[in-house]
Structure 1
Amino acid sequence: MNKCTICEKETKNKCSNCSQAFYCTAEHQKLDWKNHKSNCHPFKIAQDEEIGRYLTTTRDIKPFEIILQEEPLVRGPSQITAPVCLGCLNTIDSNQYINCEKCNWPICEEQCGNCSEHIAECAFFSQREYKVNIKEFINPHPLYQCVSIIRCLLLSESNPHNWNKFEQLESLEEKRRGSMQWKADVDHIAAFIPKFFKTTKYSEDHIMKCVGIFQINGHEVPTSDPPHVAVFHKASYLEHSCTPNLVKTFTKKGKIILWALKPIKKNTHLSICYTDAVWNTAERQNHLMQTKLFVCKCERCVDVSELNTNYNAIKCGNADCKGLVLPSDPKCLDAVWNCNRCNRSEEKFSVNRKLEQAKADLQAMDKTAKNCLRYLNHYQKWLPSFHYYMCEVKIHLVQLLGKDPKELMVLSEEHLNMKITYSKELINLYEILAPCEVRLLGTLCFELHSAIAEQTRRISSQMNTTPKALLEESLHYVEKCVNYLQYESNIFIEGHILQQARINRDALNMVLKL
């Protein structure tokens, strides 16, 4: 028994969504809704000595259920960026922009200067005796390194409610202090702001705490071009995992949406991936250490086989062996690599030499179908077909072969079969390795659906009959595409794929019912 939130009468009845608030009657629940709705989520904030604060579910979560939609506490341009509009955060067109009448910072149009984010900083910028004068619009501009941090600092005056939430977030000051990044931030931000803007309001410690909170908790938001960075309150308490249980996406207006791809049991820690789940273990670990200052110990990172996919493996150098060479210890970057069949050892520097060459060739390569096929043919001598560089090339190839309906119709039989084979391989692989990378998986499912539909058309024209099994397979993958991309906004390419996938799904359902 618990006490009713309104009258404190003992009751068993609780809010069905969050399972945390209790009411003796439906009337009392309605009375409290205005106060309760901002905290009515199927999770709660908990704390642990080792991981700090985290989110844990208060009830079972259903597949495809949204568990949180949240507006940012603060948003702003990336630290390294060419000039962007301080209103919409999109790239400034050097031929089509105006200067804010008060502070002279370049903006797209007058209404961008009146947005809430810019109003507070505009007054701050205007205090400077000499106006900002930006004329270079192509290369990264040093002035933009401090804009987002100034927005954080000004929250205490412009929005105290958001400031109270913001300053509670983790800044990792002790871990960051003394590092090369810390020293650079002190010079380019903490020392620069008081000097350039002629202010004594903010101490170095105060500025560096904001820098830490913004860098550690910031999410890259792709709703602007280039993407900007935003800090959210509750979303900042999500743990990291390279195989997370939540998917992250954004609305047109930059709200974060967090939803479950699969069922999640009550009392489960909630997680997202802080890095790119498609990268290999070394790349993910390096990125996490540089940006978030920790070593990941999730089940994927501690497994040299990357969940039995051997995503990181190279082929054994012994000509008579068909084995795979993997690091002996995933936690040690200098570990010796051993073959899983003949136990032949290979030093880390030797492995690195091969991988660095494969990476350099991939980065330098003009991504055409011909070049992708040439790369796969060349590197199959050293890399297995499921290696991460080979998979990256296959993703390009799947999207390049028959990249629009007209090209798909005249694609050779060999290349059509290749598109189908590689799509299936990649979907099966990333559903294990990166199940919440829904934009990639949804796109691959759509490519596979389209290729199977084209294969069906060709067989039907030759046999004067439509193979029902192929139609059902095509429908299966387009339905998976819709499920993966269902919350993607139409400002993203994946949102447009979703619209077409729904049309194709409905059409296939009609055909199969005939």
Structure 2
Amino acid sequence: MSEETGACEVCDIQSKRKCSSCKLVFYCSQEHQQADWKEHKSICKPFVEDYSKDIGRHLKATRALKPGDVIFSEAPLVFGPKPHRIEAGAFPCVGCCRLLEDQSCERCPGCLWPVCNAKCSGLNTPDRHGFECQILRLRPSTELTSFYQFYRFDVLIVLRAMYLQKANPKKWDVISKLEDHYECRGPGTEVYKDVEEKFGVLEANYLKPLRDFERNTGRSIVLDASPAIVHRIYGVLDVNATELTEDIDATILYATASLMEHNCTPNVMQLIDETERFTVTVRAALPIEKGDHVSSIYTHILWGTAARREHLLRTKYFGCCCKRCADPTELGTNLSALKCIGGVEGDLCGGVQLPLRPTLMEGAWRCDKCSIELPEKDVMKFVNHLGEQVDKVMSKVPRLRELEDVLGKLEHFLHPNHYLIYNVKHSLVQLLGTEENVEYSVDDWLKKMNLCEELIAITKTLDPGNARLSLYLGVLLNELFIAQFKILTRTWENPTQNLYTEQLKGYIVNTIEENKRVLEYERRTVSGNKLYEIVVKNEQIYSSWCELNSQ
């Protein structure tokens, strides 16, 4: 198939060179592309910023987009440690935010704050640690009573945002226009008290010494460090920022990405490249038609509706009424459903309890068979209690028997697809078949395979475009391969059981190829690349087996 050509927008000469962003027009050379930019830039972006009273600023597609199409890429406005206080456990390097465990780790040569190593690239970068380092040095000498009291990582990102007032007024102007929902965070609220405490730490240890330094040197370092500005910055971060977890624990604020509206079935994926200064690339995850809103998700996609909506109300100050939230069955998955405890003469009715109006916080739940109703608050109290039991088990490295025990308890009360059961099963399936000195039968591997397929179906329904769950799905597909391959090798050894060998081989190839597609865009992340390497290794193992056992 020949490569597509078209007439250059400037001189009409036929060319194969497309605009790399929109891929809609052709240019014969870079010079002609640059010459046409003033005309082309208005249509190059596949989205436009819009506004409505209901949702505020948001992004709309200006043309049809197919899955995988790049919508935009951008570097962070601000990057830094999360604005939440750390009182124990791991803490971030002030240069790169990589998590550290040892309090006797290396220190920044300038301010003596903890770092991954003294040559960390972020230490001298002005918009990372470079600027704040100068301020941290000004702190008066005090006795180190507690590691976590002295090193308040939660205030550093505010200093980095303040740095932009003079260093990059354009970025600061973007931040100043982002929503902070101060009307929900004002005096009398817990979050207001929390920010006031943070301001007290900043004022006593850094801002007051900074003002003394400015007065003594005649230099102006920070234009505005008032309590109002500190409240505003924390509000903007809470409402708009993205968080990284795992190896790097950081908060990142983006200009354009922060304008994407929320939807519990997002139509874009966000891929943050740790190797390219945390540039985010936003791609279409689902087909997006012209005029459609560009949507991400601001909460955990694997939580049930009540948990998602409560989290959004508490942290983002709005209630979601998307298609999934409005559907009691959550797109047919029953992710929040309970087993009905009603019945006649000791026999349970076998029905499912679902919310009548899931977007109401005080609604009722009704059985789909016997019509018994339960108050929302009682259901949530019970589910939260079960959730605490799950968290207790999952907080450590659980053993197979522990997961099986808690799963057995949950299955008495919850629908098999309930999100708490999904959570336990996702961990359980990774342990099935791993115990030493145990001879697993074909039936054992079939059990693992069926469990994988069950979880995969739920995952694909909730996130059909792999916008958020590509790693979850990648793990499940990997476990599915393990089960399929074990079944293949066992049945191959037994001539009476190998009737479906060729069919099973086809399933294995499909599993490997699907997993490579699922993880395609995750390879720029540490976790995604590790998982992709496992898939490649599995492919090699399977190919070697096929060569060895070819007939």
Question: Which TM-score tier does this pair reach, normalised by the shorter chain?
Answer: 0.7 to 0.9
In the superposition, relative to structure 1, how do residues 153 and 35 fare at CA in structure 2: closer, same or farther (>3 Å)?
A: farther
| Range with greater deviation from structure 2 (413-422 or 253-262) | 253-262
- Gaps of at least 5 residues in structure 1 are 8-13
User: Do the aligned residues in 2 keep the contact of 1:325 with 1:338 (CA within 8 Å)?
Assistant: yes
Say yes or no: does 1:61 pair with 2:65. Answer: yes
> Percent identity, aligned pairs only?
29
Partner residue of 1:344 out of 365, 369, 372: 372
2:493 counterpart (461, 469, 481): 461
1:433 to 457, 462, 469: 462
Following superposition, the deviation at residue 224 of structure 1 comes to 4.2
Q: Could you tell me which residue of structure 2 aligns to residue 241 of structure 1? A: 263
Task: Tell me which moved more, 504-513 or 315-324.
Answer: 504-513
2:483 matched residue in structure 1: 451
Q: 1:314 aligns with which of 338, 344, 350?
A: 338
Deviation at 1:255, TM superposition (A): 2.2
Q: Normalising to structure 1: TM-score of the pair?
A: 0.86
Within-5 A mapping of 1:16-27: 17-18=21-22
| Distance in 2 separating the partners of 1:483 and 1:409 | 34
| Structure 2 residue 463 is the aligned partner of structure 1 residue 423 | no
Residue 44 of structure 1 contacts residue 56 of structure 1 at CA under 8 Å; is this kept in 2?
A: yes
**CA distance in structure 1 between the partners assigned to 2:407 and 2:116 by the alignment:** 45
The aligned residue for residue 494 of structure 1 is 528
Q: Per the alignment, do residues 324 and 294 of structure 1 end up closer, same or farther by CA in structure 2, a change over 3 Å counting?
A: same
Q: Does 1:143 align with 2:152?
A: yes
Change (3 A) 1:196 1:67: same
Q: Which residue of the partner structure matches residue 213 of structure 1?
A: 236
Is the alpha carbon distance of 1:353 and 1:105 closer, same or farther for their aligned partners in structure 2, counting shifts above 3 Å?
closer
Tell me the amino acid that sits aligned with residue 455 of structure 2: L
Q: Is the 8 A contact 1:450 1:474 kept in 2?
A: no
Note if 1:90 corresponds to 2:107: no
Q: Structure 1 residues 392, 144: CA separation in 2 closer, same or farther (over 3 Å shift)?
A: same
User: Whole-Å Cα distance in 1 between the matches of residues 318 and 72 of structure 2?
Assistant: 26
CA positional deviation for 1:295: 0.6
Residue aligning to 1:42: 46
Q: Which residue of 1 aligns with 2:245?
A: 222
Shift in Å, 1:142: 6.6
Q: Which of 162, 166, 171 does residue 171 from structure 2 map onto?
A: 162
Report the CA distance between 1:45 and its aligned residue. Answer: 1.8
Matched, 1:297 2:321: yes
Q: 1 CA distance for matches of 2:320 and 2:232?
A: 24
Q: Would the aligned equivalents of 2:93 and 2:116 in 1 still touch at CA under 8 Å? A: yes
CA drift of 1:451 comes to: 1.2
Q: 1:280: Cα distance to partner?
A: 0.8
Task: Give, in whole Å, the separation in 2 of the partners of 1:110 and 1:211.
Answer: 29
Shift of 1:233: 1.2
CA distance 1:210–1:23, shift in 2 (3 Å): farther
The C-alpha deviation readout for 1:152-176, integer Å capped at 9, x for no partner, is 1111123333223322222222332
Letter in 2 for 1:63: P
Q: Deviations over 1:101-136 (max 9, x none)?
A: 3x33333333333233112112223344x1477574
User: Does the CA-based 8 Å contact 2:60-2:292 persist in structure 1?
Assistant: yes
| Displaced runs of 4 or more, over 6 A | 4-7, 19-26, 34-39, 406-409
Relative to structure 1, is the Cα distance of residues 168 and 411 closer, same or farther in structure 2, using a 3 angstrom cutoff?
farther
Q: For each residue in 1:221-274, what CA deviation from the matched residue of structure 2 results, as whole angstroms up to 9, or x when unmatched?
A: 23744x111101111111111110112232123222322333222222111111
Residues in 2 aligned to 1:273 and 1:156: alpha-carbon distance in whole angstroms: 30
| Aligned-partner SS, 2:166 | helix
Taking structure 1 as reference, are residues 373 and 209 closer, same or farther at Cα in structure 2, changes over 3 Å only?
same
In 2, the alpha carbon distance for the partners of 1:371 and 1:163 equals 50
SS in 2 for 1:89: coil
Partner in structure 1 of residue 362 of structure 2: 334
Relative distance call for 1:44 and 1:408 in structure 2 (3 A) is farther
Alpha-carbon distance, 1:24 to partner = 12
* Alignment pair present for 1:232 and 2:254: yes
C-alpha deviation, 1:72, in angstroms: 1.0
Cα offset for 1:330?
A: 0.9
Cα distance, 1:409 vs structure 2: 9.8
Aligned twin of 1:370: 401
Cross-structure match for 1:10: none
Quick one: which amino acid aligns to residue 237 of structure 1?
L
In the alignment, residue 268 of structure 1 is paired with which amino acid? D
Gap change, CA 1:96 and 1:452, over 3 Å in 2 = same
